[in-house]
Every structure is written in C-alpha cells, then in structure tokens.
Amino acid sequence: MRRLSFLSIAFALAVSACASPPPTEPGATSGVGMVAAADPRAVDAGLEMLRRGGSATDAAIATMMVLGLVEPQSAGIGGGAFLLNYDQSANDIDAYDGRERAPAGATPNLFLGANGQPLPFRDAVASGLSTGAPSLIAMLEKAHADHGVLPWRVLFEPAIKLADEGFIVTPRLANLIAYVGANSALKADPEAGAYFFDANGAPLAAGARRTNPKYAATLRAIQTQGARALQQGAIAAEIVAQVQRAPRPGTLSLADLRNVAPRKLDPVCGAYRTYRVCGMGPPSSGGIAVLSTLGLYERARPAPVGATNVDDWAGYLWASRIAYSDRDHYVGDDQFVPVPTAALTDPRYLSVRAREIDLAKAPPAILQPGDPSLVVGGPSLLDRWGRDRTNEVPGTTHLSVVAGNGDAVAMTATVESVFGSMRMAGGFMLNNQLTDFSLAPTKNGLPVANAPAAGKRPRSSMAPTLVFDRDGKLYAVVGSPGGSAIIGYVSKTLIGLIDWGLPMQQAIDLPNITARNAIAPAETGRMAPGVADALTARGWTFRPSQLESSGLHGIRITPTGFDGGADSRREGVAKTTTSAPVR
C-alpha cells in the first residue's frame, strides 16, 4: 500500500490494515462512476455493480469476467493481470501482482530445442511449455478482500447469465479466429476447436450467437470456492492435463496451481511536470519505462507545442528509444534478479541520459543501455546481464474504472498472445505467458535477467497507470494492451493529455509509434501532414502501419464530470452512470 504525499518526491508507506467493508444492502443506488473497457457488454456489467453500490474493484471484477467470455483471445481466467487500486479516503494505492509463475519443473533451457537453439517462437507459444500457473482469479480475490463491497458471488452474475444465454460474436473476435486459421493449433485443440469452429470446420462468423456452458460452470465454482476452484478439483486437473499433453508438453502440476500467491506491492511513482504518475513495478517493466519515457521527454521538450510539431514527436521517439534500451537490459522478476527500479527513474539519471538526445537526428540503430550506478551510486549491473530481445506478441486487454466516491482501478490482464497457448480448459484459454521470458537464457556469454527459472515471473510490459494533479487529486486512469508497445501507447496518451491539452479520446486516437528498435512501427496515416516526412528526413525509419494493436481505455476526471475514451482501433466504449465523483 502506498499513501500518497504530494509535498515531496518521496512517498510514505502506509501500514494500516485494509478490512473488507460489509456488503451493501440490496437495491442500493449510490453507485455512480465510469467504466472504460474493450466491450460494451463488459462495461455494462461493471456499471451494474456501481449502480448496486459496489466499489471500483467490484466493477473491475465484473467487467473482467465478461471480457473473459466475449474476448477470450485477449485475457481471462487462464491468464494473469496487474491491478492498481486507488482509495481516495485513505489517499493510497495498492498494486496487485497477478503475474503467472513458471512451474517448478522449468529450467533456463525451457525453450531450447534438441540442437541447443531456441525453438521457433510460434512453436514455443502453441505448446504446454508456455503456460504459467493462472493467477488472475487469485489476484482478484486478494483485491476484493481489501477493497470489495458487494459479495464476491454477485460479481460473476452478469458473465454467467451471458455465458448461459449466449453472446453475439463481434467482428474482431471473428476476424481473429479466421486469422489464426483452420490449420492452427487452436483448431487442433479438442475443446477450442469445437468452440471456435462450427461442425464443418468453418470459423465462427460475426453475428453468430455463442453460449459457453463450461465457462458458466467454472464461474459458478469460483463463486462458491474462490481461487481454490482453479487450484484443486476437476477444473485444476483439466488445466494440468491440457498443459501436459503433446505436442511439446509442459510441466505445470497441481502443486504449482496450489502455490499461486499474488502479491500486494507498492506502485512505482514519479513526478512528471506538475503531475504524479504511478504504475506497476517489477516484474512489469511498464511503470519504470513509462516514467523513464516521460522524464526524458520532459527534459527534451520543456515547452512542448502539440501533435503537429516535429520536434515534439522527435523528443518522444528519442525518449522511447532510451527507455526501451534500459528496460530491455535491466528489468526482470525482482524476486530473482536485482532490478534498479529507483535508479532507472531517478531524475539525476534521466537528466544524464537526456544529454544523448539530439532532436535534429535519429539515434544509432543499436542504442546501448546506460549505467545508473555511475550517477546515483550502488552496484553496477551493466555488465552483469546480456541484452534481452524478447518477442512480446500484441495481445491483452485493459479496463479503467472510477467509482462515485473517487476510488479507481486500472487493470491490465492477458493470456499473452492471441488465444494464448491455443489450449482451452474449463471454457477459457490457457496463457502462453512464459514466452515473455527470453527464449535464449544467455547472450554473448552473459545470463539474461529475464531468463526462465522455476517459480519465476516473466517480465511484462503491462502499464496500468494512475495520474494525480498538483493538488494530489486523481486526474486520469489509463492503460492498454499491445505487447512491448504498451509502454509507447500509454506514454503518448499521457503526453497528449498533459502536454498537448487533448481530451482523453483524442489523446488515445493519436498516432501510435513504437520506437523500441531502429525501425519503428508507425501509424503514419494518422500523423499530421508533413510530420512523418520531416522525421524521416532526420533519419528515423518507420514501418508504416494502418492499425496498431493498442486498445487504450482511459478516464480523465474533470471538475464537471468524466472525460472517457475507448480506442477506436477496437470495439470498446467508455460509459458513465451519472456525474462527477467526490473530489
């Protein structure tokens, strides 16, 4: 738990215990607020909880359970998540780590073939090797114990009703089933093949109605048993059997499921201009890298102009490249490797790194990581690790909630790749989270910080984010799916909100440019006329993209109400029940 203090850069740790309040009486109508998520049916489930007097956490859980049904390709019970909960009355943030752990049988050579070389990435994904112990429900159970108001069982009712009665397949889901293809591991999986393809082998079409009785049964078990339903008994046995089957079986066991233990942590927070930005720490790199990007951008562009300004975009691209180079080198599971979190976001270090920025030209193709120990002290880790170039496939979902009392939740959840490991159990997809590890455990003779190990969590890029204004009041809640590009998606949205004065929807719809590597995927068609050409003339190389894989969902709190946004690249919405929260 972190109690917010806006009088200095330092934060004081809050040590008070959080007890669950008594359930709200049936028929309560005090719940107001906004929910932004990837599907209108999920948003409606969250709003229903707020109308019934539920908390932001209650709304987030109900929203997530529907998302697991209607967009199973992105996230769900078989995966994990990171969640930030802001309690306005206590003025503190709890950060929940629901990242999946590698099974006890995992080794650094987890993804090496018989020839000693890493498996082809798609082979590693579509296998039992890639599945970590699902942790979403255990994390949500922990968050609900601290911040829930409605009874646990109530939160699953909308998703159960929809699974029983059927939901309409959206164009995005239908397109992704077809994209994965008839000859894929998805169709080869007995349960997934029968669910996503019809009797003739054709993929489900947009507009079709689909029930999911197994998902409804799983949710009913979770209603009564909580996370234990996935750690012992029939559902747990089904998960293990699916992971351990050929081809490329994994070692996940019932003991691994029983040992799932989400953590409650402090968020990673830092100043950005007159605001304070808070995100997730390790094993997520999202909070560190977003803060690094913003801090570097602030130094490169002390007086930003707007989305039509070439120097503003050049500053953002430079800041992103530097932040990614440090993130790739240093960040892993902090329970296994030392991660210099504070040093990487230290203003003194960012000032030194910002000296590399030359807005008139692009950086070299290979940008080396810095050494924060030379600036802020402590042991140097620069030469301890080899460079990690993990291929993080776009997937995932994000939801943002603000309740009427001013409490808020930012949660990013995932099964990692599209349809995860392509294996289904209990009506939900199983994750391929372990391919977020470096497939090669060493680089140039040095160990990689993000190499696999038994019980280790793979590095993530998920970046659920809370922003506070100069008075310490909640200003914005935002996050996105998108693999390693999440860091860029969230950073450009915050720059749009804070620096360019855009409403949430316009900030979300700004062009996505991900400058992790020398060639940056870019929505050049969304850029202001002349900007892409001017950046190219300065040496930046883009891979034009018509539609990046962001799914940004955000809420900005204004003196008069809510300013919500949902990514126009997907199918989500931001909806409110009524006016502004308590401020």
Q: List pLDDT tens digits, range 131-167.
A: 999 999 999 999 999 999 999 999 999 999 999 999 9
Q: Which amino acid belongs to residue 507?
A: A
Q: What are the tens digits of pLDDT across the range 70-79?
A: 999 999 999 9
Q: Establish if 536 belongs to a structural domain.
A: yes
Give the range among 273-277, 334-338, 389-393, 406-410 with minimum mean pLDDT.
389-393
Q: What are the tens digits of pLDDT across the range 415-432?
A: 999 999 999 999 999 999
CB burial readout 29-47, b (16+ within 10 A) else e: eebbbbbbbbbbbbbbbbb
Predicted pLDDT of residue 389: 62
* Active-site residue, 435 included: no
Q: Establish if 312 belongs to a structural domain.
A: yes
Which domain does 511 fall in, by range?
Answer: 265-372+461-576
Average pLDDT over residues 477-493: 97
Share above pLDDT 70 across residues of the chain, in percent, rounded to a whole number: 92
Number of structural domains (the chain) is 1
Assign residue 351 the CATH number of its domain: 3.60.20.40
pLDDT averaged over every residue in the chain? 92
Distances 564 to 401, 412, 491, 553 between C-alpha atoms, Å: 10, 17, 17, 8
Where residue 26 falls among pLDDT bands split at 50, 70, 90?
very low
Where residue 192 falls among pLDDT bands split at 50, 70, 90?
very high
Predicted pLDDT of residue 334: 96
Q: Establish if 432 belongs to a structural domain.
A: no
Q: Establish if 253 belongs to a structural domain.
A: no
**Cα torsion angle, 13, 142, 230, 209, sign:** negative
Predicted pLDDT of residue 97: 99
Predicted pLDDT of residue 20: 35
Active-site hit among 57, 396, 397, 414: 396
Q: Establish if 355 belongs to a structural domain.
A: yes
Give the range among 155-164, 257-266, 569-578 with minimum mean pLDDT.
569-578
Residue 394 confidence (pLDDT) above 90: no
How large is the C-alpha radius of gyration of the chain? 22
Where residue 28 falls among pLDDT bands split at 50, 70, 90?
very low
Cβ neighbours of 458 (radius 10 Å) = 26
Distance CA 339, CA 499 (A): 30
